[in-house]
Amino acid sequence: MNALVEKITECVERGKINAASNYPVDLRGKEGADEFTRRALAASIAPEEIVHACNEGMRRIGEKFSRHEVFVPEMLMSANAMKAVMAHLKPIIQAGDIPSKGKFVLGTVAGDLHDIGKNLVAMFVRGSGWDVIDLGVDVSPGKFIDAIRQNPGCAVGLSALLTTTMTTMAKTVQEIKTQFPGMKIIVGGAPLSAEAAKKMGADGFAANPQGAVAFLAGNSA
């Protein structure tokens, strides 16, 4: 792997945003994802390679999260480092030089205002090459359905943190499936499990952002 590409992977994994960032402590004062991405593009490294570097960094931090070696703050820093990379790649993606893998409609269900988990999923999925339509929080079933109509062929992600909104999530899944029987839906959130997701009628459950990326990869044509 090209040395610059490996540095981007490391920065995403470690959450090193740029040279001005003081996190992580052992990389203080050193270049970060922002600088290495600029240098990689200037060196004519293919944007696809840079996207792959982000994916690898996300995979590594995702595995650490699954093993409880890192926690939400570290995940957020990794997401911010990836955001620095994507800021450089966004114009290239919009120009069509990097093909999109598809569309992903995402939101926190009605009655729930928590968005940290949703935002992490959005960042990881977007960094994996998907167009993310983030509907925000407290999203009604009708708003999800409107977004699906506006984005044919999309997949859908529902997020919730409150146990009290599990009924709302189940209702949302049912309403989407009634109108779009073939729609692929993944759900996630602290109160959920794979068994609970199955009972709702969802097609998948993500315990972490990397799980959502894997689900989409497995369901993309």
**Domain limits, the chain:** 3-94, 103-219
Number of CB atoms found within 10 A of residue 179's CB: 13
Q: Which CATH number applies to 3-94?
A: 1.10.1240.10
> Which parts of the chain fold into alpha helices (H)?
3-14, 33-42, 47-66, 72-94, 116-127, 141-150, 166-179, 194-200, 209-219
Helix (H, G, I), strand (E, B) or coil at 106: strand
Q: Would the pTM count as exceeding 0.85?
A: no
pLDDT at position 1 is 58
AA letter at 82: M
Nearest to 12 by CA among 67, 66, 70: 70
Q: Is 220 a residue whose pLDDT tops 80?
A: no
Contact 168, 156 (CB under 8 A): no
Residues of the chain with pLDDT > 90, as a percent, come to 63
* H-run or E-run covering 206: strand 204-206
Residues 68-100 pLDDT 10s: 899 889 988 998 998 899 889 888 876 767 778
Token digits of residue 84: 């620095």
- The dihedral over CA atoms of 144, 88, 15, 160, expressed in degrees to the nearest 10, equals 0
Report CA torsion sign: 80, 82, 88, 94.
negative
Tokens read off for 139: 């999203």
- The hierarchical CATH code for the domain 103-219 is 3.40.50.280
The crossing angle, in degrees rounded to 10, of helices 72-94 and 116-127 is 40
Mean pLDDT of 136-144: 97
**What is the helix (H) or strand (E) element at residue 76, kind and residue range?**
helix 72-94
